Structure 1
């Protein structure tokens, strides 16, 4: 197989005769949507957004990167549909195309320099305008300031509108605007504390180009997040948003079942279809189920090797930051996701970064839009959506486990954490207690154990157990068993065949140091009184250890039997 990996330029794929999955009917659907002036399409990273815009650019423009585009589409679906009627549009429009995907700088000044370089490249595509008699001297000077990287912030803000005006003035045709990864500078602004400056600049640029500018034909914008309209697209009434929850364009980003079958046949890997589906299928765009194209391309090119290809292409920094400061209900839901169990929560289709840390729905909105979750079902509620969410596939489920491992390993190290968990799973509660006391004093700040509420610790602790023991144990929390709800249950997956113990852990809060031991004993008695071990016994676990833990700040007392 020669599936393209990392190719953003449509021409290169055609010229190199790579195994291109033909998505050219995307062009037809864009052209047919004549009622929409500005289309915003949001999809996860590595799902073909940049390549589809490049394909659209090469279709609409007579030249792309100073090379003719004629003939590139002769053997594609767009040439065959409607008896070739859509080819009358090929090469008939000026196009302004740019991508903001690399504007990820830690300061606003550096980000602005990167945008200046992007606009320099974009203007250079139309350098011949300087020789046109229609261009006024002051317009030539303004053009050259952008090309020579001398433009100020206001001129950069107006640059898209300015270039489209010059193109229409000289050619008599309004250009299409194709803007890829529009939200990357905004997300980086949030991460690196220059959000206000960046959102102000981008609002000005898009407002000038799309709102008050009569000199563009249509615009297609892509990104990952659906940034709130009031934050970025205020007053833009000609915008239609197509998110992952919408059916429109759903089959053009990612591989459909039909396309996957053809690819597996071509790669002679139909025998691995079920495993590949488990790893990379399950994304839901509208009602269309699709495979992750980046992971599939890597997998097939590597002869069917199953690896977490997609998740390793990002450091997931924003997701990690949000989970690190998340409240207890969020961490409880994270436990469910690691166990591949659905969670139900409110989701806001629009992301307002300024309220990201304060909005309970923000993290789920981000995870859904970014491809880390899929929505099994949604219903309107309180101007938001009440969605049932689940990781789309096995590859993505690994993200949650690895994220928690990183939290723990960063604070206590891999070896110490393995010893800590190993002592508990083997039933060596004496060593477990010693290490727990040490860790409470020195670490676990990410789960805020400095307070008196043990839940802030144990839900984080449970996450760590799940992430590191999921192959050998079932870890459950806050579930019914016997005559009540236990805090934590640890069950060997081997069941009755193993001599490894099952464990029940119950947590209590002590009011003062003198009552720590009594509170731990109370926790142990609660396990016995309410028969929390019933679930373990039903599973055939013969060796059961009951553990009562009492907390006071970073102090802990542990009793067991």
Structure 2
């Protein structure tokens, strides 16, 4: 075993993965790859997904399974791959036969193009170091090879000579293929030479049996003289074959939850689910699920903030209404848009592109899907889960140069705090400030625009609550209902908000009682307190008034309402009796 040939580090990595408490067997992907070996138009597979979706874990598994220098029979004989994947019995028997035939049959060549890049100033220096590692490995595995006496400076030529001498074919595994371009390593000219190097390394080479290549950015297929169009590529936007092997499926997470009874499946679902496969199947973020289970703590484990900052900086220019659309996404809404793939070609040409605003907007959103910040299904964009929503808000809040978002988040945090403390004076002040920011001179101040003000001042509540507008409750439709989300159902506070124009906050509260809007949550297992909130706006003066009533439970509201009703009924009856006696 060596550094490139039959890589020992990847073998050790895979053994550590399978010994984890929360290991998920993804070995059936080998059954699929075995069918592609030595097939000219099919043997090149490129998987481009966001970080932390298991691409390198699969690479480690492939090195362990295929490598001649690694005895892996004891490992894989206990895994799914050894039993086949097909429901058709004849096909399954072929898969089992291929499993036995290809296990340990090939030497693997493992290249991680993110490793040690920082140590070199030019691409040529970097590739020369890789070539030396390859020579060292060949010397160990083929000590009598004549190639060692005439070892050249080009990796492809050395592999071609080795093939000619030994008749060996290789399984090539390339990790982080796009790192050099995505992280702007070396010069622009070197980056384009790097693409040519990759093409020359693998395309139409007799020493190739199969190539598995991973990255985040999809391939640039149209770049002149650097074409990697030999690959069948599977990305976040296009993957109908391998999606279930990158990320966890719902069934896999349900099984993992059985190993840690401290965490509820529904809460994991709310925090880490939401990516959608080509057919709509939900996919979980593997990194976050494993960390949550290992720590018995559900919170954000997202680590890639640098690129997030870069994308959000572009959003700040508000191209074609992107700012408002980001707010819609954070609130849990979807956006309809037709997207194309964002890849290395777009990245390499970013500085010279002259696009219209529509094209720039599509690029921004495509980039966000590529890096895993958004998910895209059937022409609609959305933020996958609560972990990403929190990341959006956290990054937007920290970017003080993005004043629009910073003010929005700051003010809505204050409003939520004031509401929970029942500080109606403070609430009115925030409402009046937001009114000035949101409602432009000449805008008609109607119920719809009042709701816009409310949506902004309670923006941050989208993290803790499911916010429903005009929902049928009791005897009518409540203006806005704030339900605590699944993760906070037991202790979260319900808000029932009624809005009025040119009336009073007291009338708004009275309206909630009359229509019994709170009845809808009676049987939904909420055990936190309930706030009835009345808000009135005087359109002429732009002044707001607020009133809050707090209750420990829905039953307490019902009892109070019944008591008032009976008291009123008794009072009315007494009035009638008095009138009768006087007459």
Question: Fold conserved (TM > 0.5)?
Answer: yes
**Separation in 2, partners of 1:31, 1:430:** 63
> Could you tell me how far 1:219 is from its partner in structure 2?
1.3
What is the correspondence of 1:103-502 to structure 2 with a 5 Å cutoff? Answer: 109=121, 117-118=129-130, 120-128=132-140, 131-135=143-147, 137=149, 139-140=150-151, 142=153, 158-159=154-155, 161-189=156-184, 196-211=188-203, 213-231=205-223, 234-244=226-236, 245-268=238-261, 272-287=264-279, 288-303=281-296, 305-309=297-301, 311-315=302-306, 316-351=308-343, 352-353=346-347, 354-355=349-350, 358=355, 359-377=360-378, 387-408=379-400, 418=410, 422=414, 426-428=427-429, 468=460, 470=462, 493=482
Structure-2 change in CA distance of 1:122 and 1:368 (3 Å) = farther
| CA distance in 1 between partners of 2:466 and 2:252 (Å) | 37
| In structure 2, distance between residues paired with 1:197 and 1:391 | 36
Cα separation, partners in 2 of 1:23 and 1:130, compared to 1, 3 Å = closer
- Residues in 1 aligned to 2:465 and 2:265: alpha-carbon distance in whole angstroms: 28
C-alpha contact (below 8 Å) 1:129/1:170 kept by paired residues: no
Equivalents in 2 of 1:198, 1:56: separation in Å? Answer: 30
1:431 deviates by 10
Aligned residue number for residue 14 of structure 1: 15
**Superposed displacement of residue 240, structure 1:** 1.1
User: Offset at 1:222?
Assistant: 1.0
Equivalent of 2:77 in 38, 59, 74: 74
Change in 2 beyond 3 A, CA 1:317/1:415? closer
Determine if contact 2:498/2:534 at 8 Å carries over to the other structure. yes
Aligned position for 1:510: none
Match of 2:522 in 1: none
Q: Conserved in 2, the CA contact under 8 Å of 1:179 and 1:220?
A: yes
Alpha-carbon distance between aligned partners in 1 of 2:389 and 2:327, rounded to the nearest angstrom: 11
SS state at 1:109 partner: coil
Does the Cα contact within 8 Å between 1:38 and 1:219 map onto a contact in 2?
Answer: yes
The question of whether the paired residues in 1 share the 8 Å contact of 2:316 and 2:402 is answered with no
Counterpart-to-counterpart distance in 2, 1:325 and 1:163:
50
| Alpha-carbon spacing, 1:313–1:111, altered in 2? closer, same or farther (3 Å) | farther
How many residue pairs align between the two structures?
Answer: 447
Partner of 1:25: 28
The residue number in structure 2 matching 1:52 is 58
- 3-state SS, counterpart of residue 177 of structure 1: strand
**Aligned partners of 1:60 and 1:93 also within 8 Å:** yes
Aligned to 1:383: none
What corresponds to 1:90 in structure 2?
103
- CA distance, structure 1, for counterparts of residue 216 and residue 277 of structure 2: 13
Deviation per CA, 1:94-138, whole angstroms, max 9, x where unpaired? 221111245775x9827776665555445533333774343174x
Deviations 1:140-186 (A, max 9, x none): 253xxxxxxxxxxxxxxx43x23421431332112121111111221
RMSD: 4.6
Tell me: CA distance 1:17–1:332, structure 2 relative to 1, closer, same or farther (3 Å). Answer: same
Task: Give ranges in structure 1 of 5+ residues lacking alignment.
Answer: 1-6, 143-157, 378-386, 437-460, 481-489, 504-526, 529-533, 549-557
- C-alpha contact 2:320 2:361 (8 A) present in aligned 1: no
1:365 is displaced (CA, Å) by 1.1
**CA 1:545–1:184: 2 relative to 1, 3 Å:** farther
Q: Measure the CA separation in 1 of the matches of 2:464 and 2:229.
A: 55
> Which residue is equivalent to 2:524?
none
SS of aligned partner of 2:183: helix
Structure number with greater Rg is: 2
Matched, 1:37 2:43: yes
SS of residue matched to 2:207: coil
Deviation at 1:464, TM superposition (A): 8.4
Q: What's the CA shift string for 1:412-439, capped at 9, x where partnerless?
A: 9999984797489623269959x99xxx
SS at match of 1:427: helix
C-alpha distance in 2, partners of 1:115/1:25?
34
Once the 2 structures are TM-superposed, how far is the Cα of residue 259 of structure 1 from its aligned partner?
1.7
